[in-house]
Each structure stands twice: as C-alpha cells, then as structure tokens.
Structure 1
C-alpha cells in the first residue's frame, strides 16, 4: 500500500483541509493518507481550539487514514525543529512521499532553494546568527540569509518565496528529509482561495484556520463559521461546545498563565525553555500589571520578539517545560497512534514489522521523557479548558486508546 504523509494542526479541521487530503492522495496515487498532527499546544505557541482527540475524529471523518501525534517538544518549536520531528515520524512509519500546501504550489522552486543553501554552506548559518544578534527576529534573519544565498548563487531558476508561512514550513520539511537521508519523495499543492492570515470571507466555503478562529471569537457562535466546515467537523465542534462550554485560546487560559508567572517569579521563569535575555523580568511585571492577555502581550511584545515567539515561551511557562526537559529529549523515539480508519488499520497490519520506531497505542505501555511531556501538557490543557466550566478530566490522556472509524 502506497502511503502519503502530511503534517497538520487542524485547528480546527475545515474544507481547505479536505481539499489538501484529496489532492495529496490524488497527486501521488496514494492508498492511504497518514497525518502527523500537533497535540494540544501548537507551533504558533497557543492552546488548540479543541483537543487532539476531537481533532483526530474530524481528520478521520475528513479523509485521513492514520493520525499520529507530533510530540510537544516538536509541535511547539520553531519551524526547523517542528519540521524535523514531523518528517522523522513520517519516514519512520514508512511513507513513500510527503505533501504540503504552499503559496508557490510547485515543487521545483523548493528543490532549487535547497540546492542554493547547500552551496552557501556555513555562510548561511553565520548570517542567521549575526542577524539575530543584531536584533532581527528569527524569521527575518532566516530570510535575510536566504536572500544572500540566492544572490551568491547567481541562479536564474526560480526559488521559493520564503516570506510566505506555508512556503517556509515546506522548505524546512524538504531540508529535514534531506538531513535524515529519507527516501520519501516531496510534493506540494497550491494553497487556494484564502491566505494563511486572511480573514474569513462569508461568500466562500474555504478560509484559513486563523480566519475561522478570529471570526468565531468575534461572534462567539459556531453558526458564524459553519460554511467553512464539513458536516463532521461541525457536529464534533457542537458536541465539544455542549460538553466543555468553551474553546481553547489564550484569553481563556490567561488567568492560569498569569497565576503561574506570578507564582514562579523571574528566577524560576529563567529556567523555562526559550526564555532568554532577561525577558522573564518583563513578563513578571506585565503579569502584575494586566488582567487580560491582550494587555499582557501589548506590554511584552517588541521588534526583537515576534508575537509567535513570545507565545511559545508562554506555552512552556504554562506547561512547565524547561531547558532541562528539552535537553533530555533527542530525536523522535516513538509513533503515538491517535486514530485510524479500517484502511489505516490494514496499512499498519501489513507494515508493522517495517516501522522504524515503536508504535504506541497505550501510553501506559511505554516510558519516555517526550511521551511524559505529551501526557502532562494534555492535562494542563484540560485544566485550561475547564477552569471556568465543568470539572476538568485530568489523567484522561494517559488512559486513552486510539479512535477507530470505519
């Protein structure tokens, strides 16, 4: 059975994601689609709209055959580490290819970009380091170094536009695949109708997840965004709302985050992953001064620190993820199965002996620092979702078994 891998967050799953799955399957003639999906905290440093189990259900209903969890240490990291973890998992489960959505929509510019940076060698990394030290944000530093490498190469062939968010991730997926000598082929499909940061347009049926979340929180009703979802997603989100009473975002998590910052104090905050250059002192003052997340962020944000970078720090503060924890975790060491269809189950049965990493269907049966962090972060997410509504179900992630749909 031929398998195509995709890297996703599904925050939440929408019609654009259905298109991605369909086109990934079609363009590579794949029998199964395997999704590596972030857990309960995401790459932009924010709590997921709904938890990984609800998002797994939506993914399986929407066309995915297998859903694996991208561990917390990768899911909440900047693009190169995020991509490395995801590609290692897709390679380990035996995917023949991986497919990503991009603004360019053509794989050739990405291949050319990889070649350009390979030829630039250590100079590229040096420019990135110097640009960050001069005060540029990491994404801008990467782009500055990339433009230098392109100019240095003198190539006339098209290269990928690495100012675009999906292109950036796609480039890092391909770079990670090359670094681990993966035999997976790379494919891309064009992002259609809505850009990554675009607001939702009521006259369309496809919008970005960012636009959908913004529209939902502006109007506080699922009916305002119903047009962008397949029926399965709408049903799952409705059931979540009826059960939990709230959806994940920093506004609702902020009281617990604020408590954590004020309790820990600057000295202990400095031990948290990604905290550097004294920003812990600014965060402590901002938490004292502000009752809202928006007010807190307005006080902390600067040209040096992007909104996303700060949110990743806050995610680690909230979950207690320290530099010491990060140093304990190396390369991907397991495949945690969140859900599968009958076709996905057939793929696993046929390829079980070929998997490069152990497959976990019960968390209790496997001991690993990364998995323990996944379980802990799921408990912290449950507390944040439920602190103003129903009693939280803490410990549930440790006991869950994979979702199986026909």
Structure 2
C-alpha cells in the first residue's frame, strides 16, 4: 500500500482542504492518505476553533485514512521547526510522498530556491541580519534576502505563507535524508489571509472563522464553503461546549498570569527575548481585550504571528528550559494516533513492526518532555470550558483511543 502524507491544521476543514485531499490522491496515486495535524494550539499561535478530536472526525469523514498529532513543541513554532517535526513523523510512518498546497504550484521552483540558498548561505545569513537591523521582522528579512539572491532561474515568492511552509517541508526532507518525494498543488480562489469570501465555494479558513465569530452570522453563512460534516460537527461542538475557541476566551487567563509575573519570570518563557518582557508587562495593564493588547504590542520587528505564539507560550507557561529539553532531538520522539479509517488501520498493522518511534493510542503511560508540554497545553486549552466539561475533556485527552471510522458505512465507531 502506498501512503502519501499531508501536513494540516483543519481550522476548520473546508472545501479547499477537500480539493487538496482529492488532488493528493490523484497526483501521488496513493492508497492511503496520512495527515499530521496540529493539536490544541496552532502554528500562528492561536487556539484551534474546536478540539483535535472534532477536527479528526472532519478529516476522516473527508478522505483522510490516518490522523496523527503534531506535538505542541513543533506545532506552535516558526516554519522550519514546524516542518522538521511534521516531516519526521511522516517519514517514520513510511510515507512515500508528501503533497502540499502552495502559491507557486511548481515543485522545481522550490528546489531551485533551496539550491540558491545552500550555495549562498553565508551571504543569505548576512543579508537577513542586515535587514533585521533596519527594523524588519525575521519573516520579512528572510523574504528580502531571498529576493536579493535570485538569479536567472525560477524561484518561489517567499513572502507567501504556503510557499514558506512548502520550502521548509522540502528542505526538511533533504536534511533528514528521507526517501520521501515532495510535490505541490497550486492554491486558487482564496488567499491564506483573506478575511472575506472571494469565491462561491472556496474560502480561506481565516474568512470562515471570521464569519463564525460575527455576532449576526449563523452556521448557514459558512455552508457553501465547507463539507456538510464540518458544519454539523461545528454546530455539535458549540451546542455541547457552549463556545468555539478563540483568543478572546483566554484573555482573562493571560491577563491574570501576566499581572502576577515579574520581568525575570516572564523572561524565562520561550521566545520572550530582547527585553520584550517589559513591553508586554507595561501593555497588559490597560488592555481590555486580546485584540487591543496585541495592537499595543505589535511593531515592524514583532509581527502579530510571533507575538501570538509568545502569548500562547505565556498562557501554557512553556519555558525556554522545557523547550530546550523537548528539542534535544530536532524531530518527533513518538507518534500519537488520533484517528483511523479501516484502510488506515490495515496500513498501520502492515507497517507496525517497521515503525521505530513509539506509536501511542493514548498517553496514560509514556513519559517524555514533548508529551509533558502537550498534556499541559491541552489542559489549558480546555480550561475555559464549564465544569464538569473541563475536567472530562482534560481526562479524555489523555485516555482517548484513536477515533475509528467506517468509510463504507460513513459512521464513527
């Protein structure tokens, strides 16, 4: 059985994701599709709209055969670290090929960009530092440095978010000496950051979430842009837990934590650097919402995304020391199974003896720094739920076995 892999967040699963799954099967001729999916908190430093279990159900009902979790220590990171963790998991699961969406849509352009970067690495690093000194963010400085190095070959635009991720997926495959092949499909109809609907059927996850949190909007507003099962699961989640997660729900917890921290305590939090602790502590006192707090913090140097990730680490009390222990190895140390179709279960059974990492169907017994951070992050994620739901979900996250899906009957087992 040939397995192909994709790296996802599904926040939430929409029609563009369904197209990605279909095209991955077609392009790679795969029998099995494995998705590595972020858990409770995401790459841009946001809480997921609904739990990883609800998003796993969305994935399984829409053609994914196996869903595994990308640990927090990789999922809430810059693109390079995010990619390293995800690729290491797919490689351990003996995936033959990965397929990612990109603004470029041409895999050769990714390889050309990597070749230029490798041949001019010292100059590239120098240019990045020079641009940062002018007040640019790291992401902007990287983009400008790549642009400066472009030669007479076709390369990617590294200012585009999916191109950046795809570049690091491709680099990670090379650096980890994986036998995996990389391929890409071109994004169309909507841009990653679009906040409004631009097409009749395809919309960005950003615009879908914005509609869901609009006071006057109902779930019917997103119906044209998501599969029916996504709409149903979102409705069920809100009915069961009385909310959909976003940063404003956590702001009172973040503010309480910051009001009780000293600068030296805050400086120990992962990614709090260069005296940023003083700016954070002076801004939090007057802030009355997460959005207002972020607007007070944001500068050219510190992007919204970077600051959101820092806020996530503050909220989860994730320290530099913890992350250093977790990242002794630059790849995942276990595989947490979240869900499987019947075909997926057959595939896992066929390769189980060849998987070199621990394969977890729950997290009750394994002790590992990566998993310690995951448990803590999940507990924080569910802390805004009313009791007894909060306690039940925290326990479920540790004890839950993989969700099983019968693809012939289209039912969860």
Tell me which interval the TM-score lies in, with the shorter structure as reference length.
over 0.9
Q: Distance in 2 between matches of 1:388 and 1:143?
A: 46
Q: Distance in 1 between matches of 2:51 and 2:133?
A: 37
Matched, 1:248 2:235: no
Matched, 1:237 2:221: no
Question: Residue 201 of structure 1: CA displacement?
Answer: 2.2
2:409 aligns with none
Matched, 1:85 2:85: yes
1:198 aligns with 194
Q: Distance in 1 between matches of 2:325 and 2:173?
A: 23
Question: SS of 1:98's equivalent?
Answer: strand
Mapping 1:41-56, distance limit 5 Å: 41-56=41-56
Q: Deviations over 1:143-183 (max 9, x none)?
A: 12212222xxx3x2211111111111000100111111111
Decide which moves more: 89-98 or 196-205. 196-205
Q: Distance in 1 between matches of 2:337 and 2:188?
A: 30
* Distance change (3 Å), C-alpha of 1:202 and 1:126: closer
Matched, 1:288 2:280: no
1:319 aligns with 316
Preserved CA contact (<8 Å) 1:244 1:389: no
Q: Distance in 2 between matches of 1:100 and 1:388?
A: 39
1:124 aligns with 124
Q: Deviations over 1:251-277 (max 9, x none)?
A: 111111111111223221110000011
Question: Residue 199 of structure 1: CA displacement?
Answer: 2.8
Q: Distance in 1 between matches of 2:157 and 2:338?
A: 34
Question: Residue 203 of structure 1: CA displacement?
Answer: 5.5
Q: Deviations over 1:84-127 (max 9, x none)?
A: 11111111111001010001111111111111111113222232
Decide which moves more: 390-399 or 32-41. 390-399
1:65 aligns with 65
TM-score (norm 1): 0.95
Question: Residue 128 of structure 1: CA displacement?
Answer: 2.2
C-alpha RMSD of the superposition: 1.6
Preserved CA contact (<8 Å) 2:382 2:390: no
1:304 aligns with 301
Decide which moves more: 204-213 or 194-203. 194-203
Unaligned runs of 5+ in 1: none
Q: Which portions of structure 1, spanning 4 or more consecutive aligned residues, are displaced by more than 4 angstroms? A: 387-392
Mapping 1:328-339, distance limit 5 Å: 328-330=325-327, 331-339=331-339
Q: Distance in 2 between matches of 1:108 and 1:301?
A: 36
Decide which moves more: 198-207 or 371-380. 198-207
* Distance change (3 Å), C-alpha of 1:203 and 1:103: closer
Q: Distance in 2 between matches of 1:248 and 1:221?
A: 16
Q: Distance in 2 between matches of 1:195 and 1:389?
A: 40
Preserved CA contact (<8 Å) 2:340 2:404: yes
Number of equivalent positions: 401
Question: Residue 389 of structure 1: CA displacement?
Answer: 10
Q: Distance in 1 between matches of 2:181 and 2:390?
A: 46
Matched, 1:259 2:256: yes
* Distance change (3 Å), C-alpha of 1:24 and 1:248: same
1:40 aligns with 40
Q: Distance in 1 between matches of 2:386 and 2:119?
A: 52
Q: Distance in 2 between matches of 1:131 and 1:189?
A: 31
Decide which moves more: 192-201 or 72-81. 192-201
Preserved CA contact (<8 Å) 1:35 1:66: yes
- Counterpart selection for 1:157 from 153, 160, 170: 153
Preserved CA contact (<8 Å) 1:379 1:396: no
Q: Distance in 2 between matches of 1:245 and 1:326?
A: 33
* Distance change (3 Å), C-alpha of 1:389 and 1:311: farther
Q: Distance in 1 between matches of 2:252 and 2:389?
A: 16
Question: Residue 31 of structure 1: CA displacement?
Answer: 0.3
Unaligned runs of 5+ in 2: 407-413
Preserved CA contact (<8 Å) 1:2 1:95: yes
Q: Distance in 2 between matches of 1:194 and 1:207?
A: 6
Question: Residue 329 of structure 1: CA displacement?
Answer: 1.0
Decide which moves more: 28-37 or 117-126. 117-126
Q: Distance in 2 between matches of 1:287 and 1:389?
A: 30
1:217 aligns with 213
Decide which moves more: 89-98 or 363-372. 363-372
- Counterpart selection for 2:276 from 257, 275, 279: 279
